[in-house]
């Protein structure tokens, strides 16, 4: 029972936290823009940077799961 598939399933669990983090990035971005609409361009590029960095964590986790399953 404690084989590769189980390990891959456990390794995929932290993706929930990454989802929460991505949601929080855009939450604060939208709130910041709604308070002060003139900062939209500056804040948006920083938000995209944060989103890509967080997404990188999710995809590195995907890489780890694939490594567990297929090697």
Partner 1 sequence: MSKLQPLKQFMVTTWIPIRIGSLDLSLTNSAAFMLLAVALILVGMFLGLRRPQIIPTTWQAIAEYPLAAIETMVKETNGPEGRPFVGLLASVFLFIFMGNLLGLFPFAFTFTSQLIVNFTLAFALLAVMTVYGLVQHGWAFLRLFMPKGIPWWIAPILVPVELISYLSRPISLSIRLFSNMVAGHSMLKIFAFFTGSMGIFGGLLPLGVNVGLMGFELFVAFLQAYVFTLLTCIYINDALHVH
Q: Give me the residues that bind partner 1 (CB under 8 A), please.
A: 45, 48-49, 51-53, 55-56, 59-60, 62-63
Tokens of 40: 């939209």
On whether the CB atoms of residues 69 and 11 are closer than 8 A, the answer is no
Q: Which is nearer to partner 1, 1 or 63 (CB)?
A: 63
Element (H or E) spanning 27, and its range? helix 15-35
Nearest residue to 15 via CA among 71, 60, 67, 69 = 60
* In the complex, least distance from residue 22 CB atom to partner 1, rounded to whole angstroms: 13
As measured in angstroms, the least distance from the Cβ of 59 to partner 1 is 4
Q: How far is the CB of 62 from partner 1 (least distance, A)?
A: 6
């Amino acid at each position: 029972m404690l084989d590769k598939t189980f390990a891959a399933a456990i390794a995929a669990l932290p993706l929930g936290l990454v989802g929460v983090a991505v949601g929080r990035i855009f939450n604060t971005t939208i709130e910041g823009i709604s308070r002060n609409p003139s900062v939209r361009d500056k804040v948006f590029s920083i938000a995209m940077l944060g989103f890509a960095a967080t997404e990188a964590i999710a995809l590195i986790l995907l890489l780890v799961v694939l490594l567990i399953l297929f090697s």
